[in-house]
Amino acid sequence: MFGNYLIGLREGLEASLVVCILIAYLVKTGRRDALRPVWTGIGVAVVLALAFGCALEYGSQELTFEAQEALGGSLSILAVVLVTWMVFWMRRTARHLKSELHGKLDAALRMGTGALVATAFLAVGREGLETALFVWASVRASNDGTHGPLIGVVLGIATAILLGYLFYRGALRINLAKFFTWTGGMLVVVAAGVLAYGFHDLQEAGWVPGLTNLAFDISSTIEPDSWYGTLLKGVFNFQPDPTVVQVTVWALYLVPTLALFLAPVGFASGKGKVKVPDERGSQPSKAS
């Protein structure tokens, strides 16, 4: 549940910040007439993300077991690739996010209503599709037969929406560079478990050999049905009897990716902050 809460929080906060910046800029510049097309684009993006998630969940149920495993494994690997790119991208561009969005919005305002809808849709839609794919892969990897993973995602998104609103009102200040660094690092750990599970799916589909070649088996020590086994499974997608391929893939991804992600990237003090102007047109408040 915690791993999926983290996904919902991290991805949801990125989308909330985007919405917050777009809406606050329009209000501050006196273009409230442009709010409706922006909200329309945001709404379409949310509906598309939900439809994509439903298509993944219910569409895969019509496939054979081998096809389900092959699809699940392939999409899990794709989800890890996208999330890895996303966390590195956000860490690198967080400091420029506001100015970049303002530039796109200015261009859209000059082009008309359709461009406004498209700008809002593209700004939020990418986050929505990434979230739907990674959540689906993570929930599938947890495979605990409960609603805990989905509840975690919903709670994470709800928290992100609340934080976004507080940013908009100027009631909350956090250092976004540090926030995205810490949550990004934890998300890399979650992604490593999803990647290992994805390769296990491909082994069960017969695409990757070594299904019976276990690296170790500590099921008798860490029982999967125990509270600590459930906790490890929910947070890290831990498996007490992984194959050699799973352990190898997990280590080859986690160690270099986490090392590169946590390496200094030149965020000096005061950098990486997102400023959100409030609706009264006062000086921008720092979400720092």
Q: Where are the domains of the chain?
A: 2-269
> pLDDT (tens digit, 9 = 90+) per residue, 141-199?
766 556 667 788 888 888 888 888 887 777 566 666 777 777 788 888 888 988 998 99
Rounded CA-CA distance 44/220 in Å is 49
pLDDT of residue 2: 66
The pair phi, psi for residue 214, each rounded to 5°, is -85, 140
Residue 110's pLDDT band, with cuts at 50, 70 and 90, is confident
Residue of higher predicted confidence among 16 and 144:
16
> pLDDT (tens digit, 9 = 90+) per residue, 199-226?
999 999 999 999 999 998 888 887 766 7
pLDDT of residue 274: 46
Average pLDDT on 52-73 reads 84
Task: Name the helix (H) or strand (E) containing 276.
Answer: strand 274-276
pLDDT of residue 33: 81
What separation in angstroms does the CA of 164 have from each of 3, 79, 108, 238, 274? 21, 25, 23, 32, 12
The pair phi, psi for residue 88, each rounded to 5°, is -70, -40
pLDDT at 102 over 80: no
pLDDT of residue 181: 78
pLDDT of residue 95: 66
Average pLDDT on 57-78 reads 85
Angle between helices 113-142 and 148-169 (to 10 degrees): 140
Rounded CA-CA distance 197/246 in Å is 7
Q: Provide the 3-class DSSP secondary structure of residue 166.
A: helix
Tokens of 257: 């990716």
Q: In terms of C-beta density within 10 A (0-12 exposed, 13-18 middle, 19 or more buried), how is residue 93 classed?
A: exposed
